[in-house]
Structure 1
Amino acid sequence: APKGRTIGSQKKSPRYNTERPRHGRRRWLWWLSGIGLLILLILAAAYWWYHQNLQPVDQTDTTTKTLTIGEGDTFKTVATTLKEQGLIRDVRAFDIYTRLSGSRNQLHTGVCQFSPAQSLPEIVTKLSQGCHDNRVVTFLPGGTVVDSRYKPQGQDATTALKRAGYSEESIKAALAKTYDSPLFANKPAGTSLEGYIFGDTYSVPANQGPEAALKAAFAHM
């Protein structure tokens, strides 16, 4: 037998280190788990944000605000106006909801009344179905045309029209207008409508000016 070699000895197989690949696989599993968790957190945050922005701006505020939708208006321009008036929380959430609900191409012209107490889905539903709203105007019995120091504040016709959402300019124009009615046959030219506005509650189309409310009051005299 050759010198230095033991009879019956066998050549040993080389040892391979299997620990490193095992650690590598664990590291990849940790990475994948972390990425998956991050994606879940992002999705959860996105859902929370979207759900929150569908809620009313203020459930306790039922004050109505008027929105006029004309030819050529889009949901994008309407969303901007709604946000400016404090009726929706976020324009992007509005855009997403109209796309998901399939109502993006169902905008109708008209005059709509909304309040901060309405949710975004309620507002979109009303917009897509078309608005046929009325304004409610309450003239108090014995009220003056404009605020008077001899009467409790807020009981005049001007304030009543403002509460109904009419602009100050349109109210001034309506109160200064000459009306063609037998009621005013003996009314001196240039005098106010003092004494001609019958105190009651009137419902008039929202797309008409304050003249409609005044004419309704004149008809009761």
Structure 2
Amino acid sequence: MPVLLLAVLAAAGWAAWLLGPTGASAIVEIPRGAGAGQVGRILEENGLVRSGRAFALYARWRGVEDKLQSGYYRLRGEGAASLLRDLTGSGEQVMVRLVFPEGWRAVDYARRLSGAGFDGEGFLRLVNHPPAEWTPAYVAGPTLEGYLFPDTYDLPRGADPELIVAVMLRRFDREVTPERVEAARRLNLTIHGWVTLASIVQAEAGSAEEMPWIAGVFLNRLDAGMPLQSDPTVAYALGKKLPELDRYAGDFEVNSPYNTYLHTGLPPGPIDNPGAAALEATLHPKRTNENGLPYFYFFHAGGKLYLSSTFNEHLRKLNRYYY
């Protein structure tokens, strides 16, 4: 047998051994954005392959380097081909990674959970009717809306609604520091009032940079006894998205405590689940212009926020940009 052929056969045998079954099993986490090299190292460290580098080369040769999916997997070392199938969509994850964006309502979170195979309806029932014995004392509203902290969560597949809600509440609790409680108190806000206002700021702001200014306007209005007149609160009262509001259909006349056109003060509770930026901005508002006059009005035009201290100034700006 020619020497070259022997060398080829030996190399092929060596590669087959490197990429072949190891008999090991393990639960592993594949991080988001991990390339074939990093995935190979994780598999090697857990005894699932003999060479992570060989696995990475094999993944590239198979053309699936960019198809490796993040998450938690229960894997068996049955060979590189089997592992590739599991990590590119065929394997069942033992944990499911879900992103819950800031500003979404509980009903939106429930839909995301249902889409991922969880009990979204049970989750929503629990949020809307939380047991008093494990509801945080600072939740003074009728539901847990606002306290389901927006974040990326790794959830056990098949987790029941109680566990999911508890995980979200524990994550929110990290935001309630003594310093923030004191900052809210200086603004005449309870924790519940702070979160409620932050949810409105979240819904109104086009960017994080706008949030302190919008928070300042609403705090000035609260102090002056003026209605907040926030469209997102009306949308929440009707179960609508903001673009669906119809003034001519009487939406702004809806008799709801969440309608901040009809009622002064804050609504009974948050209207969405605010993120860290909105929570922080609400405690550090920007309330006045360069002359020290408080802002009471704002609107958006052309991607920019316009603030005014008087109603006449507000009307002049509106006429300039909209008429």
The structure, 1 or 2, with the larger RCO (C-alpha pairs under 8 Å, 6+ apart) is 1
Q: TM-score, normalised by structure 1?
A: 0.42
Task: Select the structure of larger CA radius of gyration.
Answer: 1
Q: Which has the higher helix share?
A: 2
Q: Structure 2-normalised TM-score?
A: 0.30
